[in-house]
Chains A and B, each alone.
Chain A
């Protein structure tokens, strides 16, 4: 799986948009970008994933650059409950039948301030 680089920490004001960057310059053509987050002392939570088109769901938006070497996770209106470690992971999308492992980097600690 391609390696990712994320800033170790970021701050955001409550109610403002949080933009979390991720570099994945060695991404392969069949690798997807996944985002998970981990709130303190809980298991990671899936947020969103994408291949090359921008994606949006009820939690966030994912913007992937045209060359796919970087992406940005956007939380449009951050709340205090969005304070967590956010992980950007690049891997082949396998779904139920894949069985291939998911490895985590250090992630970005996002702190949303009141």
Chain B
């Protein structure tokens, strides 16, 4: 139980375009989901907390207008990287709070060329 599905697993986009990443809780409802970013050889850095039906809470230094988060239902949160640039290339991971702890998606490798 407590599975989080993240899609796509890998995406390559051109600089200046936008990319949407989906995070779905498959067998439970997630009032709150979390978005992380991970650069090579570094730990996960929390970007924002996504709350169903309300605005996301962003960590300090994360541009809310660049990383748009929508959590319109109890099973789906989306992260849209707008006007992507090469420095946005990273591994993006979502997570949801479940009964025994936090469950993570398998991650999305974003490459901006």
With A49-B100, A101-B49 in contact, is A106–B43 under 8 Å at CB? yes
Q: Are B101 and A96 interface neighbours, CB within 8 A?
A: no
Nearest CB of chain A from residue B97's CB, rounded to whole Å: 6
Looking at chain A's contact residues, the main secondary structure is: loop
Q: Of the 9-residue stretches A22-30, A36-44, A72-80, which lies at the interface with chain B? A: A36-44
Which of B104, B106, B107, B109 is most buried by chain A, counting CB atoms within 10 A of its CB? B104
How many B residues touch A, CB cutoff 8 Å?
Answer: 28
Q: Are B99 and A96 interface neighbours, CB within 8 A?
A: yes
Which of B45, B97, B109 is most buried by chain A, counting CB atoms within 10 A of its CB? B97
Select one of B28, B45, B101, B107 contacting A43, CB under 8 A.
Answer: B107
B110 an interface residue at 8 Å Cβ cutoff?
no
Q: Which residues of B contact A (CB under 8 A)?
A: 4, 6, 28, 31-32, 34, 36, 43-46, 49, 51, 91, 93, 95, 97-107, 109
What are 16 pairs between A and B in contact, CB < 8 Å?
A41-B109, A42-B107, A43-B106, A44-B93, A44-B104, A85-B43, A87-B43, A94-B97, A95-B99, A95-B101, A96-B31, A98-B97, A99-B49, A102-B102, A104-B43, A104-B44
